[in-house]
Structure formats: C-alpha cells, structure tokens
Chains A and B, each alone.
Chain A
C-alpha cells in the first residue's frame, strides 16, 4: 500500500531535549512538507522540500531543523530552542509544489 507514515504517534519530551520526528513516503513524491497544528488555528508550515538535498524554511521554522537525504524520508528535529513545541505535527507530500498534498497520520508531541 502506498502512503505516508509518521512515527511515533505520541511523543513526550522533557524541556531542553531535542527530538526527531520521522516521516516516510512510498508515493514517489518529490515534494514533502512539515506542518504544525495548534487548537483553533490553521496548519502552519515549518519546512518544505521540493527535491532531495534541498529544503526551504516555512513560516515558523525557528527552533526546527530538517534534512532530505533520501526522496522517501524527511525527518524533523524539534530543538530545545523551540519555545512552545507542544503541538500536533503533520507531514505531507505531493508530486510537485503545486500538486495536491497528502498527509501522514501525525505525531502528537508533548513537552513535560
């Protein structure tokens, strides 16, 4: 089955720790994205990548980092510099930047 997987589903972190969220897709999509969703707000873009070894900052990139070493994978690291990291993180992919995006099941991060 083709799709997007994210792991873990739930993640708890102590303040001051970095954590890495996994996102893998087998849809052969070139573009991948990371969003953050907070209650009562629309999704906000953290980073996106159009092709391997290239990525761009989104609207709220501060305190986050990404890599795109393989087409299938786009991990997101939430660093200790992110001041309010508790949120629902969604990974998405699409054929190209202007094509329909499909989302993974998300990771709920809670900072204790």
Chain B
C-alpha cells in the first residue's frame, strides 16, 4: 500500500463550480499535512498547510480526518487559473524528515 494515495482525476469542472477531493495516508502517526499546487512542467508551490481543526484560505478549504486518515481539499467558485495538479504531502516524523508525496490530483476548470 502506498503511503499517500490520491485520486489522479482529472476532475473537469465548469467555472464557478465547487470541486473537492481527498488524499488518504497510511501512517496513523503522521504529524503534519500540506497541499501543494503544481502547474504543468513547473515546480510545486505550497497552497496551504492543513491543521487539525481545518482551515480556510479564500476559496480553498482543507480538512483533516485523523480517525479515517485522510485530508481533503475543497475549491469553491472555481477559476480557470485553478487548473493544476494538487499534491498531497504528509510528514510522518516528529523530529526528523519523512515526507511522503502523493502523485497528485489533476483539476481542469473549463470556461
């Protein structure tokens, strides 16, 4: 079983729609969680960290469900510029490095 799994998509949505997708992780001791955004042939860029209580940044909402070991990302009022691959990243260590990256979920927003 992969340490971090994501539905690769693609999720094709019209502008203005809401799209949501999950990422599951295998290690219940995982400590911190992130969503990165990666545009085609570019580097990943941090979108947001995911906190235990859930957090929101503009149109983006991230949730963490420790009991079921998944995190989610919801994008409201989708824009064309939201088209990208969203990488789920999980840190499984307390004081050392142990990041695991999902393969990404591709979102395409159409006009």
Contacts and interface: CB of A to CB of B under 8 A. Distances in A.
Contact of A42 (B34, B43, B49, B104): B104
A21 to B, nearest CB: 14
A98 B8 CA distance: 27
Interface in B69-109: 87, 91, 93-97, 99-104
Interface residues of B, number: 25
A88 to B, nearest CB: 8
30 contacts: A31-B97, A35-B101, A40-B8, A41-B103, A42-B100, A42-B101, A42-B102, A42-B104, A43-B87, A43-B101, A45-B99, A56-B97, A90-B43, A97-B93, A97-B96, A97-B97, A98-B32, A98-B93, A98-B94, A98-B95, A98-B96, A100-B46, A101-B46, A101-B99, A103-B43, A103-B44, A104-B43, A106-B42, A106-B43, A108-B41
Interface of B: 4, 8, 31-32, 34, 41-46, 49, 87, 91, 93-97, 99-104
